[in-house]
Amino acid sequence: MKIRLASPIVTDSVVDGRGLRTVIWCQGCYHGCEGCHNPDTHDFTGGFDKEIDELVQEILAVKMQSGVTFSGGDPMMQAQSCSQVASRLKEHGINIWCYTGFKFEELLEKPDCLTFLQYIDVLIDGKFELTLKSYDLLFKGSANQRIINVPDSLRENNVILYDF
């Protein structure tokens, strides 16, 4: 199985989640958020395909990382492939964060996305809203976005925000 990426993985990110993180930049998004900082990731035919086994091995070879963050594009638009990657990373105890333009409640109604959610520790949900943009927000671009504790939210069947 393959995943469509916008770029090679990025390591040592401190802005895409807590700690030093490896970032998987997924290709493809149709949200069209005004002011998106990754417009090159929107085209579903852009980027390149990568074998999931190869990607997982590449990530596992990176040392001194706090976890992996899925971003893009929108990883939920490749939920099945992302789920395959995330499940393999979870076997190694890796902490997983994910950014999506979808709301958590929408994802619960999509079987592939729900499967992917099972492997995610923290989800930043909601479209980027340029009018709500702030540089004072931690790990999110606009005030409407939520930073969600996914395991607790799934267990409680209600959105539980991540507690810093």
Show the domains of the chain with their CATH numbers: 2-156 (3.20.20.70)
Which stretches does DSSP call E strand in the chain?
2-5, 10-13, 21-26, 48-51, 67-72, 96-99, 122-125, 146-149
The pLDDT tens digits for 59-114 are 999 999 999 999 999 999 999 999 999 999 999 999 999 999 999 999 999 999 99
Q: Is 120 left (phi over 0), alpha (psi -120 to 50) or beta?
A: beta
pLDDT over 70, % of the chain: 100
The pLDDT tens digits for 106-134 are 999 999 999 999 999 999 999 999 999 99
